[in-house]
């Protein structure tokens, strides 16, 4: 139990670090552009397919189901879109390339944190059918 609390605190710190990169990409005086904040929508959307797959399937065991595969595909699409958005914004010169690098760095940290959360709490006793 104590080990999960320590891991949860570490994940919270990592997520805060990733969001700090995102805010720096928007608020630093040389960038001063808040368009990269749209990446927050991808942060909220990325765990939803995984939660749906856990809710409506037996889990991520060796036998694969169509629902699990669809949810993995949708999650991959959301993550790639979150990484592609700042690159497209920088390519069209809406934001600067330095801000793009900060946003992509923040994306890597935040999505690694989300993945870490699902790894740490994969065998948790929470029953999704109670929702």
Read off the pLDDT of residues 46-55 as tens digits, 9 standing for 90 and up: 999 988 887 8
Whether residue 128 has pLDDT greater than 50: no
The predicted pLDDT at position 126 comes to 54
Question: Is residue 131 situated within a structural domain?
Answer: no
Q: How far, in Å, CA of 71 to CA of 100, rounded?
A: 27
Domain membership flag for residue 116: yes
For residue 130, being part of any structural domain is answered with: no
Lowest mean pLDDT among 6-10, 94-98, 99-103: 6-10
Q: Which domain holds residue 11?
A: 2-124
- Would residue 112 count as lying in a domain? yes
What would you report as the CA-atom Rg of the chain, rounded to the nearest whole angstrom?
Answer: 17
Distances, alpha carbon 119 to alpha carbons 38, 88, 99, in Å: 26, 31, 30
Helices and strands of the chain, counted as H and E runs? 5, 0
pLDDT tens for 8-56 read: 899 999 999 999 999 999 999 999 999 999 999 999 999 999 888 878 7
The answer to whether residue 100 is domain-embedded is yes
Domain contains 67:
yes
Please calculate the CA angle 63-67-70 and round it to the nearest 5 degrees: 110
Phi–psi pair at 41, nearest 5 degrees: -60, -40
């Amino acid at each position: 139990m104590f080990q999960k609390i320590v891991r949860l605190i570490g994940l919270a710190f990592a997520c805060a670090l990733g969001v700090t990169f995102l805010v720096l990409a928007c608020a630093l005086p040389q960038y001063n552009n808040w368009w990269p904040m749209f990446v927050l929508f991808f942060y909220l959307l990325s765990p939803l397919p995984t939660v749906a797959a856990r809710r409506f399937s037996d889990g991520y065991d060796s036998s694969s189901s169509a629902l699990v595969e669809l949810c993995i595909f949708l999650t991959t699409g959301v993550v790639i879109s979150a990484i592609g958005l700042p690159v497209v914004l920088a390519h069209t010169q809406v934001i600067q390339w330095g801000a793009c690098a900060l946003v992509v760095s923040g994306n890597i940290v935040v999505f690694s944190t989300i993945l870490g959360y699902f790894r740490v709490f994969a065998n948790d006793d929470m029953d999704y059918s109670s929702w």
